[in-house]
Structure 1
Amino acid sequence: MSPETLSKRTLLFVNAAHALDHFVLLIYPTAVIAIAAQTGLSYAELIGLATGAFVAFGLCSLPMGWLSDRFGRRNMLAVFFLGYGVSCLGVASANGPTAFAAWLLVLGVASAIYHPVGSTMLVNHARQLGRDLGINAVWGNLGAASAAGVTALLAASLGWRAAFVLPGLVCLALGAAFIALVPGDGTPHASRTGKTELIPVSRPLALLAVFAVAVIAGGMTFNITTIALPKVIDERLGLDLPLALIGSLATLVFVFGAGMQWLMGRLVDGYTLPSLFVGLALFQPLGLVIAATTQGLLLLVGLVLTIAAIYGQVVVNDAMVARYVPAQHRAKAFSVRYFLGFTVSGFVVPMLALLHAQGGFGLVLAGAAVFGLIVWLASLAFYCLAQGASETAAPAE
C-alpha cells in the first residue's frame, strides 16, 4: 500500500472515530429522559450515574498517548472501536443503577482513547493542517449534534436500549474494517502544504500555564453545555414538545458548532492563533449569559452562540498543540491537553445535578458562564504573552 493511500484511509477512519467518540458519549444524556420515565428514577439520580464515564473520559486520556507510543496508534484506535462497541452493548443490558454506572465507566475508559491517539494520527497524516483539523472537528461535532436527535428517535420508536445497541454494532463493524484496511501507523505526511518551522515562543512556561487554565475552564463549559442541552431545551424553551422534537432541536443547535469548526479550519491557515483565540472565546460567556437569562427563541440564540464558540475552540486548541509542540512530543501533549480538559470537567455531572436541584438550568447556565469568562480572560493573557513570539500565518510541522 502506498503512503498516500494509507494516509487517506487513516484520515477517513480517524474522522469516523471522532464522530463516534462524541456520539456515543452523548447517548446517555438524552436516553436518560426515556430511562427516567420507564424506571421512575429522577433526572438528577440518573445523570449522576454517568459521573464515572465523564471522569474516565479525561483521566484515562493521560496514559493513552504513552500506550500508543508503545503499542502503536493503529492498534490503540482498533481497541477504541471494539471497546466502544462492547461497552454500548453493556449499557443496553443494564437493569439497575449499579449496572448503569459500571458499564458507563467502561464506556468512558474506551472513549478516552480517541483524542490523544486520533489527534496525533490526524496531525501526522494531514496534507493541509488547518483544513484537515477543521474537517475532523466537523465530524466530531456532527457526532455530538446527531446524538440527541438519533437517540431520541430510537428511544421513542424502539426503546432506549436500541439507542445503545445500534451504535454499538456500528462501532464493532468499523473496528473490523479498520483492522482489515489499515495495516499500520505509517509515516508523517511528506507533502503537507504550508509547511513551516514550529512557532517560537519566548515564555513557554507562562504560555503553557495560561493555555492549561483555558483548557480546564473550556472543558467545563464544553461538558456542561453538551450534557445539559437536551434537558435545557426540554425545560426552558417554553413549549411542551415530544422527546423526538427536543432531540432534533438539540441537533440543530450543534450543527451551528459544526459550521464554526469548518470556518476555524480555514482561518487557522491564514490568521494568527492568539487572535483567533481571543475573538472566538468572547462568544462563550456572551452566549451563556443570554441562555441563562432568557427563554424561548432568545434561549436558542444563546445556545447557538455558545456551541459555536465551544466547538470552534476545539479546532484552535488542537492547532496550538500542532504548531507549538515538536512532532516527537505531540502524542503526550495531546494526552495532557485532554487529560486537563476532560478530567476536571468530568466532575460536571454531579455539579450539574446539584445546581439543577438547587436552581434549575438558569443556575446551571450561569455557572457555565463564569467558566466561559475565565476562558476569555485566559485567551487575552495568551494573546499578550504570545506577542513576543515570531509567529507566521502558515501551519507548523
Structure 2
Amino acid sequence: MNVTENDRAIAGFTMAGHSLVHWFETSIPIFLVVWLAEFDVSVALLGIIVALGYAPFGLGALPGGVLADRFGPKRLILLCLAGMSTSFLVLALSTSIYTIAIGLICWGIAASVYHPAGLALISTGVEERGTVFAWHGIAGNAGIALGPFAAATLLIVVGRWQLVAALLAIPGFVAAIYGLQADFDSTAAEDDVDDSNADALSLSEFLSNSRILFSSAFAAVFVIVTFEGLFYRGMLTYLPEILHGLPAMDDLTLSAGLEGIEPGDYIYVGLLVIGMAGQYAGGKLTDRIPAERGLIAIFGVLSVLALVFIPVMAMGLIPIVVLCAVLGFFLFAIQPFYQEAVAVHTPANTRGLSYGYTYLGEFGFGAASIAIGGFVLGGFSTAVFFVVLAGFAAIGMALSAGLVVTLDRTDWLQPNLPDAKSGD
C-alpha cells in the first residue's frame, strides 16, 4: 500500500467517525422537547440527565487516550462507533426517563474515546497530516450541521421519536462495518511507534508519561487549547440565543407557513457550514507555516471579531451575517493548528495520551465558559460577554507568542519519553 492510498484510507475512516460523533451529539437536543412532553418531567431534571450524558464526552477523553495507546486507535474507534449506535438503540427502546439516562450516559462514554483515538491515528499514520486534519475537521462540521437537521426532519416525517432514534443509529453501524474491512497502516508516518505498548495502562507509566509531557512544550499547548475551548464553547453555546434577540431579526418578514422558524438559527447553521472552508484552509496552512505562528494569528483575529460584535449587534442584517460568516471561518480554521501543535510536540508512542489531555482541555475545561457566559449574560450586558470571549482569545494569542519565543531560544521543551525518538 503506497502512502497516498494509506492516507486516503485513514482519512475516510476517521472522517466517518468524526462526522458521526457530532451527528449523535447534536441530535440529542432535538429530542428534549419530545421527552419533556412525554415523560412529564421538569426542565431541571431533564437538564441534569442530559448533562450526565454529555459530561463523559469531555471527561472521558483522557482515559480514552490511554486506551488508544494501549489497544490501538482503530480498535477504539470501532468500539466508539458500535457503542454510540447501540446507545441510541437503548434510547429507542426506552420507556422511562431513567432508561433514557442510561442510554445517554452510555453514549457519552462511547463518544469520549473518538477524538484522542482518531487524531492519534492521523498523527501517526498519515504523511500529509495537515490535509487530512482539514478533511477530518470538515467531516466533523458536516456532522454538527446534519445531526439536528436529520433528527428534526425525521421527527416530522416519522412522528415517533423512538423510531427516529433507531434510524439515527444506522449510519454508525454501517461505519463500523466499513471500518472492520478498512486496510491501512496506522504507524506509516512514524518510525518510533511501539504497537505492543503494553505498559500504557499501568499507573506508573501513565504518571511518568504525564509528568514528562507537562515538563515539555506540550504543557503550553495544553493551556492554549483550553483557552481555545473556552472561546469556542462560550461562543457556540450562546450565539444562537444572542442572534434571536437582535433587532435586525425582528425586521425580517417570513413567508406564510414559516412563522415558527428563527432566522438566527439559519445564520448559525450557515456559520457552521462556512466553518468547513475554515477547517480546510487551516489544515492546508499547517503544511506551510509553523503551527504556533498560525495560532498567534488566528487567536488575534478571533479576539478582534468578538469585539466587533459589540457595534455590529446594533446594525442591520447584512453586517451581522457577514460577521458570523467570518467568525465561522476562523473559529474552525484554528483547530488544525492546535492539532498539529500536539503532533509536533509529543512523541508518537504517547499520541493517544496527548490528544486525551488535549480534548480534556477543549471539551472538559473549556465547558467552564458555559457557566461563565451564563453568569455574565445574566448579571451584565451582552457587550461584556463578548469582551470576556475576546479576553480568552487574547490570552491564547499571548501564550502562543510566548511558546514561539521560548522555542526559538531553547530546545529543552521537547519531551523525551522512554522508547520515543527525539526527532519529529
TM over 0.5: yes
Number of the residue aligned with 1:305: 326
Number of the residue aligned with 1:222: 232
Q: SS of 1:318's equivalent?
A: helix
Counterparts of 1:25-174 in structure 2 under 5 Å? 25-32=25-32, 46-47=46-47, 49-92=49-92, 98-159=98-159, 161=161, 164-174=165-175
Q: 379-388 or 135-144, which moves further after superposition? A: 379-388
Matched residues in 1 for 2:399 and 2:383: separation?
25
Number of the residue aligned with 1:273: 291
The AA in structure 2 aligned to 1:217 is F
Number of the residue aligned with 2:9: 9
Q: Quote how far apart the aligned CAs of 1:68 are.
A: 2.1
Q: Quote how far apart the aligned CAs of 1:116 are.
A: 0.7
Number of the residue aligned with 1:393: none
The runs of 5 or more residues in structure 2 that have no matched partner are 192-212, 412-422
Q: Quote how far apart the aligned CAs of 1:346 are.
A: 3.7
Q: Quote how far apart the aligned CAs of 1:78 are.
A: 0.8
Q: 63-72 or 117-126, which moves further after superposition? A: 63-72
Matched residues in 2 for 1:90 and 1:347: separation?
30
Q: SS of 1:282's equivalent?
A: helix
1:112-157 C-alpha deviation (Å, 9 max, x unpaired): 1111111111122223121121121111122223334444433444
Q: Quote how far apart the aligned CAs of 1:329 are.
A: 2.2
1:317-338 C-alpha deviation (Å, 9 max, x unpaired): 0111112222222222111111
Query: Quick one: structure 1 residues 247 and 308, their matched pair in 2 at CA, closer, same or farther if it must change by over 3 Å?
Result: same
Conservation of the 8 A alpha-carbon contact between 1:132 and 1:265: yes
Conservation of the 8 A alpha-carbon contact between 1:290 and 1:299: no
Q: SS of 1:332's equivalent?
A: helix
Matched residues in 2 for 1:7 and 1:120: separation?
14
Number of the residue aligned with 1:285: 303
Conservation of the 8 A alpha-carbon contact between 2:11 and 2:135: no
The AA in structure 1 aligned to 2:275 is G
Larger Rg: 2
Conservation of the 8 A alpha-carbon contact between 1:149 and 1:250: no
Query: Quick one: structure 1 residues 219 and 205, their matched pair in 2 at CA, closer, same or farther if it must change by over 3 Å?
Result: same
Q: SS of 2:409's equivalent?
A: coil
Q: SS of 1:26's equivalent?
A: helix
Matched residues in 1 for 2:341 and 2:266: separation?
33
Q: Quote how far apart the aligned CAs of 1:279 are.
A: 0.8
Q: SS of 1:242's equivalent?
A: coil
Query: Quick one: structure 1 residues 365 and 270, their matched pair in 2 at CA, closer, same or farther if it must change by over 3 Å?
Result: same
Query: Quick one: structure 1 residues 156 and 363, their matched pair in 2 at CA, closer, same or farther if it must change by over 3 Å?
Result: farther
Query: Quick one: structure 1 residues 251 and 149, their matched pair in 2 at CA, closer, same or farther if it must change by over 3 Å?
Result: farther
Q: SS of 1:374's equivalent?
A: helix
Matched residues in 2 for 1:348 and 1:160: separation?
35
Q: Does 1:344 find its partner at 2:361?
A: no
Matched residues in 1 for 2:369 and 2:173: separation?
29
Q: Does 1:385 find its partner at 2:385?
A: no
1:26-73 C-alpha deviation (Å, 9 max, x unpaired): 223455466667778787775554323333112111111221232232
The AA in structure 2 aligned to 1:271 is I
Number of the residue aligned with 2:273: 255
Matched residues in 1 for 2:378 and 2:172: separation?
35
Number of the residue aligned with 1:194: none
Q: Does 1:211 find its partner at 2:221?
A: yes
Q: Quote how far apart the aligned CAs of 1:278 are.
A: 0.9
Q: SS of 1:50's equivalent?
A: helix
Number of the residue aligned with 2:201: none
Matched residues in 2 for 1:274 and 1:211: separation?
9
Q: Quote how far apart the aligned CAs of 1:21 are.
A: 1.5
The AA in structure 1 aligned to 2:227 is A
Conservation of the 8 A alpha-carbon contact between 2:226 and 2:365: yes
**Among 336, 349, 356, which residue is 1:328 paired with?**
349
Matched residues in 2 for 1:155 and 1:163: separation?
6
Q: SS of 2:178's equivalent?
A: helix
Matched residues in 1 for 2:116 and 2:228: separation?
17
Number of the residue aligned with 1:197: none
Matched residues in 2 for 1:88 and 1:147: separation?
13
Q: SS of 1:127's equivalent?
A: coil
Matched residues in 2 for 1:90 and 1:152: separation?
19
1:168-216 C-alpha deviation (Å, 9 max, x unpaired): 111112112212x13676432489xxxxxxxxxxx98474343222211
Q: Quote how far apart the aligned CAs of 1:383 are.
A: 3.1
Q: Percent identity?
A: 18
The size of the alignment, in residue pairs, is 380
1:221-277 C-alpha deviation (Å, 9 max, x unpaired): 222333445444444443576348665433211122111111111211111222211
Query: Quick one: structure 1 residues 146 and 235, their matched pair in 2 at CA, closer, same or farther if it must change by over 3 Å?
Result: farther
Matched residues in 1 for 2:89 and 2:376: separation?
31
Alignment TM-score, normalising by the size of structure 1: 0.80
Q: SS of 1:263's equivalent?
A: helix
The runs of 5 or more residues in structure 1 that have no matched partner are 192-202, 391-395
Q: 364-373 or 335-344, which moves further after superposition? A: 364-373
Q: 63-72 or 293-302, which moves further after superposition? A: 293-302
Across the aligned residues of Structure 1 and Structure 2, the Cα RMSD in angstroms comes to: 3.6
Query: Quick one: structure 1 residues 350 and 93, their matched pair in 2 at CA, closer, same or farther if it must change by over 3 Å?
Result: farther
